[in-house]
Amino acid sequence: MGAALLGAERVQEWRQIAPMLEARGLPKVDTLMGGRYVPAVKAFFDHLYGLDRGGDVPLAPDGVEDFVGWRRKQKRPA
């Protein structure tokens, strides 16, 4: 799983990252099967990155807001 998510050169990092993500809802290793259920892991990351919203594009910041400048533009002459 670590190699698929982080790349082969960072597999060791996955062993440190996985417990932190488990606290946030990442499916734990199934003791009977000896691994994580891959569709559940995908669903976890889809939810984490906002990709489970029915096709809506996740919102991303587009820069610093300029509320003062916006208000100046919105004022209309009386």
Higher pLDDT among residues 57 and 51, named by residue = 51
| Averaged pLDDT, 22-47 | 93
Q: Which of 19, 18, 23, 22 is nearest to 6 (CA)?
A: 18
Residue-range domain boundaries for the chain? 2-55
Higher pLDDT among residues 34 and 52, named by residue = 34
CB of 14 closer than 8 Å to CB of 20: no
pLDDT at residue 28 is higher than 90: yes
Sign of CA dihedral 75, 76, 77, 78: negative
pLDDT at residue 33 is higher than 60: yes
| Unique residue bearing structure tokens 């698929």 | 4
Using CA atoms of 5, 12, 9, 7 in order, give the dihedral in degrees to the nearest 10: 0
Higher pLDDT among residues 37 and 58, named by residue = 37
pLDDT at residue 68 is higher than 80: no
